[in-house]
Chains A and B, each alone.
Chain A
């Protein structure tokens, strides 16, 4: 189902970071479609505080790359209104943690007006936002919160982990006729000032292409245990899988890539194959994605599991500041490895 729009022979790729791949996806869509604009705090000259818009102002000018006041209600609402009237705005919410000051615009308006208008209006906009912790930014700048957005009807929720997906999913999000929340983890962007992840750099085709929203990726095949995960936790899970392979444990790593729509089929097929499940989710544990994955198995066929599943999530506490405390709450490679060993025991 992956649609690469040029024929494979013509595809040339080079290694890019997630942030450069995202920007390339945005820029190619802006070249193709004059209705695409970008707005948010510090997205212009500064290029986005997590480099999600680097260089766009120079290429497309202030008429299409708009630095906004600190006024999320105004500019997210503006995005919705512009989308309803024929534009395809990409609105950056600097940190997802800030959604509280503008959540009304997001879940009551952006997400609902298509439905409540009886399908009369369309809202083809992208709300992109930085998520995740691991760098001591404290309880109000480190959350993922994707489960909150996924819980509320009317928004697609996209969470890329690799450079190629970051670009292809961005292009799909821009072209989608629905509001799409595009959540990029600061730790996957490949930023020099963040903790390094080797998976943040990868092959990205130069041409424009889409990655379908709602299709998970098997990022590593394995027979012993299914690790269902997303975003930065994919990087950690792949590293852990490499280590455990040395002990003879073969992990299958499923990168969900989107929460809404959620690819149930891929999860069920993988669990049917391995019979063991670990969910790794950097969001709060209770009432969220990890419980939803468990419900999918329970509703479909609990006998798929040979042993109880494990969840590696942020416990139901705010994310603490001190490095040692933060690492104790996040789904670190150590916690992921322990959970996999547990289900294998």
Chain B
């Protein structure tokens, strides 16, 4: 069993696949956090621990040729499209074997072959770009849908509003997913936003339905994803979904998140999407052994991805001079 020959997702039962996806995201990011503290992952890292149900539900529901556009909090969305852990881990460590050969890093994960069209580190910037991909799908009648994930903080930047209006005017196949984790970076979204629900309460301004879902319930996320992807594919235009969730960690790096009330953190930790779903599967008759096997398999895969990334050398300096232009070069003086 090697990283390159074994698919990361092996389960065939949709319920087990949803569980497996969440476990991959959780265990991978727990390792990323450790590696960050150990100095293997440098710069910054934004974890989705606690928010996995959203990426898992959409990852399962999306067609393989649909597109994901994510933010700098994009590890989960990348892995949930089926990208191998090893090159993602190597990219985070800035190694030659990285997904983008060390050129992009944690905040710019991209894998075109998996429909992972990029992670964007400027708040709101990728919404118009996802609208463009959706325009291409409609123009070419390809049946593809662009799914654009972003945080609650994005709803207060102009690009959010411009993109929603545009997508609605042209009835484009795009699903906007606001992962409302209640904090824009280190500030409560409630303190800086005029409405209670930062995404859903703005939907009416663009003629869209007001949709609020439990972002910690993976089966609910899977269902809403299926429904809205189908609707977009059938030509009914964009959707805006507000998924309520919570990040277990801070905003980035090793931020302990001390700006959040203890009781609030405790309440949301009780609503951790992975144990909740595990209990539910057990109630439905899935055996403990089957679920443990998934946990164990993923755990081994994370170890292997870590070893493989550590074994990869740093990229050579000349790599910095590649791929400024489509011919692979960088010089602008002919």
On whether the two chains bind one another, the answer is yes
Are A63 and B129 neighbours in the complex by a CB distance under 8 Å?
Answer: no
Tell yes or no: B266 within 8 A of A by CB: no
Is A80 touching B129 in the complex (CB atoms < 8 A)? yes
Number of A-B contacts defined by CB within 8 Å: 161
Question: Number of contacting residues on B, CB 8 A?
Answer: 53
Chain B interface: which of A47-55, A84-92, A186-194? A84-92
Q: Which residues 133-147 of B sit at the A interface, judged by CB distance below 8 A?
A: 133-137, 139-140, 144, 146
Would you list which residues of chain A between 107 and 157 have a CB under 8 Å from chain B? 108-109, 113-122, 124, 150, 153-154
Q: Which of B103, B111, B133, B330 contacts A81 (CB 8 A)?
A: B133
Q: How far is the CB of A68 from chain B (nearest CB, A)?
A: 8
Residue pair B136, A215 in contact (C-beta under 8 Å)? no
Inter-chain contact B332/A84, CB cutoff 8 Å: no
- The answer for the CA separation of A89 and B131 in the assembled complex, in Å, is 13
Q: Which B residues between 57 and 106 are near A, CB-CB below 8 angstroms?
A: 67, 69, 98-104
> A78-B166, A153-B332 in contact; A84/B323 too (CB < 8 A)?
no
Which of A6-14, A259-267, A302-310, A314-322 faces chain B? A259-267
Q: Given the known inter-chain contacts A63-B139, A119-B323, please indicate yes or no for A77 contacting B104, CB distance below 8 A.
A: no
Say whether chain B's binding surface is mostly helix, strand, loop, or mixed.
Answer: mixed
Range, interface on chain A? 35 or more
- Are A71 and B326 in contact, CB atoms less than 8 angstroms apart? no
* A contact residues around B322 at 8 Å (CB): 119
Q: Which residue of A lies closest to B100 (CB)?
A: A118
Whether the pair A215, B324 counts as a contact (CB closer than 8 A) is no
Q: Does B285 contact A (CB under 8 A)?
A: no
Chosen A-B contacts, 12 in total, with CB atoms closer than 8 Å, are A74-B163, A81-B134, A85-B136, A86-B136, A86-B140, A108-B125, A117-B103, A117-B108, A120-B100, A153-B332, A262-B333, A263-B334
Additional pairs, 19, CB under 8 Å, beyond known A73-B158, A77-B163, A78-B132: A63-B139, A73-B128, A74-B166, A75-B166, A81-B132, A81-B133, A83-B132, A86-B140, A108-B122, A113-B118, A114-B325, A116-B104, A117-B104, A118-B101, A120-B110, A178-B325, A215-B334, A262-B333, A296-B333
* A-B CB proximity, top 10 nearest: A81-B132, A77-B128, A118-B100, A177-B326, A74-B162, A78-B132, A85-B136, A119-B323, A261-B334, A81-B129
